[in-house]
A and B are shown apart, each in its own frame.
Chain A
Amino acid sequence: MANANPTDGSAPAALDAKRLAWMYTQMYRIREFEERVKSTFTEHPGILRGHTHLADGAEASIVGSIAALAPDDQIVTTYRCHGYPIALGTDMKLMMAEIYGKATGLCGGLGGSMHLYDVARGFLGGSGIVAQAIPHATGAAWAAQIRRQGQAIVCFFGDGASKQGAFHESLNVASVWKLPIVYVMENNHYQASTRTDQEDANAAHGEPLSTKAKAYSMEGVTVDGADPVAVHATLADALARARSGTGPTLVESLVYRLSAHGNLIAPPGVPLNYPEHEAIAIFGNREEYEAALRGDPVPRFRHRLVTEGALSAEDADAIEQAAREEVDEAQRFALDSPWPAPDSGLDYVYA
Chain B
Amino acid sequence: MSHVIPYIAAIQEAIREEMERDERVLYFGQNMATSPEDPFLKQFGPDRVRVTPISETAEIGMATGAAVAGYRPVVELYMAEFLLVATDQVVNEGTRFHFMSKGQVSVPMVMVAGYGFTAGWAGQHTGSIYGMFMGVPGLKVALPSTPADAKGLMTTAIRDDNPVLFFQNYLLLLDEGEVPDGEHSVPFGVADVKRAGSDLTLVGTGYAVRTALKAAETLARRGVSVEVIDPRTIAPLDVDTILSSVARTRHLVLVDQATRHSSVAAVIAAEVAELGFSSLEAPISMVTALDSSIAYSKPVEEFVLPDEHKVIRAVEASLGLAPAST
Q: What 10 new A-B contacts, CB under 8 Å, besides A124-B65, A140-B65, A173-B58?
A: A107-B104, A108-B102, A124-B69, A125-B101, A125-B104, A134-B61, A135-B59, A138-B65, A139-B68, A166-B57
Given the known interface contacts A76-B65, A143-B66, the answer about A110 and B93 at a Cβ–Cβ threshold of 8 Å is no
A183 to B137, CA, bound (A): 31
B311 CB to closest chain A CB (Å) equals 34
A350 near B69: Cβ-Cβ < 8 Å: no
B58 near A135: Cβ-Cβ < 8 Å: yes
B104 near A142: Cβ-Cβ < 8 Å: no
Query: Which A148-187 residues sit within 8 Å CB-CB of chain B?
Result: 165-166, 169-170, 172-173, 176-177
A142 near B101: Cβ-Cβ < 8 Å: no
Counting chain A CB atoms within 10 Å of each CB, which of B47, B65, B97, B162 scores highest?
A: B65
Answer whether residue B314 sits at the interface, using C-beta atoms and an 8 A cutoff: no
A117 near B138: Cβ-Cβ < 8 Å: no
Given the known interface contacts A169-B58, A351-B162, the answer about A176 and B53 at a Cβ–Cβ threshold of 8 Å is yes
List, in ascending order, chain B residues with CB within 8 A of A106's CB. 102
Counting chain A CB atoms within 10 Å of each CB, which of B50, B59, B93 scores highest?
A: B93
Q: How many A residues, CB 8 Å from partner?
A: 43
A173 near B73: Cβ-Cβ < 8 Å: no
CB-contact partner of B53 in A146, A172, A351, under 8 A: A172
* Contact-size category for B: 35 or more
List, in ascending order, chain B residues with CB within 8 A of A119's CB. 101, 104-105
B50 near A177: Cβ-Cβ < 8 Å: yes
Answer whether residue A136 sits at the interface, using C-beta atoms and an 8 A cutoff: yes
List, in ascending order, chain A residues with CB within 8 A of B59's CB. 135
Nearest residue (CB) in B for A108 is B102
Answer whether residue B288 sits at the interface, using C-beta atoms and an 8 A cutoff: no
B71 near A135: Cβ-Cβ < 8 Å: no
Answer whether residue B48 sits at the interface, using C-beta atoms and an 8 A cutoff: yes
B11 CB to closest chain A CB (Å) equals 23
List, in ascending order, chain A residues with CB within 8 A of B65's CB. 76, 124, 135-143
Given the known interface contacts A132-B88, A169-B55, A173-B55, the answer about A351 and B93 at a Cβ–Cβ threshold of 8 Å is no
Given the known interface contacts A76-B65, A173-B53, A350-B162, the answer about A115 and B58 at a Cβ–Cβ threshold of 8 Å is no
Answer whether residue B324 sits at the interface, using C-beta atoms and an 8 A cutoff: no
> What per-residue 1/0 map shows which CB atoms of A242-282 lie under 8 Å from chain B?
00000000000000000000000000000000000000000
A351 near B64: Cβ-Cβ < 8 Å: no
Given the known interface contacts A139-B64, A139-B66, the answer about A111 and B101 at a Cβ–Cβ threshold of 8 Å is yes
> What per-residue 1/0 map shows which CB atoms of A32-74 lie under 8 Å from chain B?
0000000000000000000000000000000000000000001
Across chains A and B, which 10 residue pairs bring their CB atoms closest together, nearest first? Answer: A135-B61, A139-B65, A139-B62, A169-B58, A136-B65, A143-B69, A169-B55, A351-B106, A351-B161, A139-B66
List, in ascending order, chain B residues with CB within 8 A of A115's CB. 96, 100-101
CB-contact partner of B69 in A107, A111, A140, under 8 A: A140
B57 near A165: Cβ-Cβ < 8 Å: yes
Query: Which A100-129 residues sit within 8 Å CB-CB of chain B?
Result: 106-108, 110-111, 115, 117-119, 124-125, 127, 129
Answer whether residue A215 sits at the interface, using C-beta atoms and an 8 A cutoff: no
A132 near B61: Cβ-Cβ < 8 Å: yes
CB-contact partner of A138 in B62, B100, B102, B162, under 8 A: B62
List, in ascending order, chain B residues with CB within 8 A of A169's CB. 53, 55, 57-58
Answer whether residue A229 sits at the interface, using C-beta atoms and an 8 A cutoff: no
A350 CB to closest chain B CB (Å) equals 5
A155 CB to closest chain B CB (Å) equals 9
A129 near B53: Cβ-Cβ < 8 Å: no
A239 to B140, CA, bound (A): 37
Task: Write 11 A-B pairs (CB below 8 A) sorted by A numbering.
Answer: A76-B65, A107-B100, A111-B101, A117-B100, A119-B101, A119-B105, A136-B61, A136-B62, A138-B65, A140-B68, A146-B47
Query: Which B84-114 residues sit within 8 Å CB-CB of chain A?
Result: 88-89, 92-93, 96-108
Given the known interface contacts A74-B69, A125-B68, A350-B138, the answer about A170 and B61 at a Cβ–Cβ threshold of 8 Å is yes
